[in-house]
Amino acid sequence: SQTIHQWPATLVQPVGSPLSLECTVEGTSNPNLYWYRQAAGRGLQLLFYSVGIGQISSEVPQNLSASRPQDRQFILSSKKLLLSDSGFYLCAWRGGEEKLFFGSGTQLSVL
Amino acid sequence: RKEVEQDPGPFNVPEGATVAFNCTYSNSASQSFFWYRQDCRKEPKLLMSVYSSGNEDGRFTAQLNRASQYISLLIRDSKLSDSATYLCVVNMHGSSNTGKLIFGQGTTLQVKP
């Protein structure tokens, strides 16, 4: 069966520090992968999606970037975090019938 | 206008009550619709897909009205464990290749004893 791993679960970072969140999927090949962010009290915002290695689509201009160095690995990065980058970050892969399956999320607090 | 809109609530209902949530979407070409459930500080999990003819899963019933561009979720005989945020999700482009699933902000349900 397919599983998705996302880490860390919680992260506290100072403003201006770099960021790297990693997500890996097991049990499937060439998945469509996604990064979402959920700010406090708000809905999920699609940040990036990828349909294959090295293929990244960005949905909104922001201080973040994404990379997909391997088929089942999706990385979210930032060179310098802003206060506004705080939020709950979720990685997801798309299964059959366009259903999304999420990792357990990373709660990022930028101070 | 937001692409997917939901009443954020909260909806406070007693156990055993029937509650309904609505969701509207802006893109008439949307093809796929879902309801997800999200518990506090957890990841969203698929509750059910929404089919044109309407579909039911136990106490949960989902309906789609393409003409009016809205989706509904009905929960009968509410349980305390139903307390969560319910997210309406729409594929805005009607194409599985782009995979742009757009989430509503969610409707919070609180079931009281």
Q: Which pLDDT tens digit goes with each residue over B13-67?
A: 999 999 999 999 998 888 889 999 999 989 999 999 998 888 999 999 999 999 9
Contact A46 B100 (CB under 8 A): yes
Quick check: A54 contacting B, CB < 8 Å? no
Task: Tell me the nearest-neighbour CA distance from B68 into chain A, angstroms.
Answer: 23
Task: Locate the chain B residue with the closest alpha carbon to A47.
Answer: B100
- Long-range contacts: A49-55, Cβ < 8 Å, 24+? A49/B99, A49/B100, A50/A74, A51/B97, A51/B99
Nearest CA among B34, B59, B56 for reference residue B47: B34
For an interface test with B, the pick among A23, A93, A98 (most B C-beta atoms closer than 10 Å) comes out as: A98
Q: What is the pLDDT of residue B63?
A: 96
Q: Which residue has the tokens 């892969």?
A: A93
Quick check: A11 contacting B, CB < 8 Å? no
Q: What is the pLDDT of residue A52?
A: 93
Mean pLDDT of A6-27: 95
B56-92 per-position pLDDT tens digit: 999 999 999 999 999 999 999 999 999 999 999 998 6
Determine the 3-state secondary structure of B75 from DSSP. Answer: strand
Between chain A and chain B, the number of residue pairs with CB atoms below 8 A apart is: 54
Quick check: B35 contacting A, CB < 8 Å? no
Q: What is the pLDDT of residue B44?
A: 95
For an interface test with B, the pick among A100, A104, A106, A108 (most B C-beta atoms closer than 10 Å) comes out as: A100
Task: Tell me the nearest-neighbour CA distance from A60 into chain B, angstroms.
Answer: 13
Query: What percent helix, strand, coil does chain A show, rounded to 5?
Result: 5, 60, 35
Taking the CA atoms of residue A90, residue A91, residue A96 and residue A97 in that order, the dihedral angle to the nearest 10 degrees is 40
Q: What is the pLDDT of residue A98?
A: 77
Q: What is the pLDDT of residue B93?
A: 60
Quick check: A44 contacting B, CB < 8 Å? yes
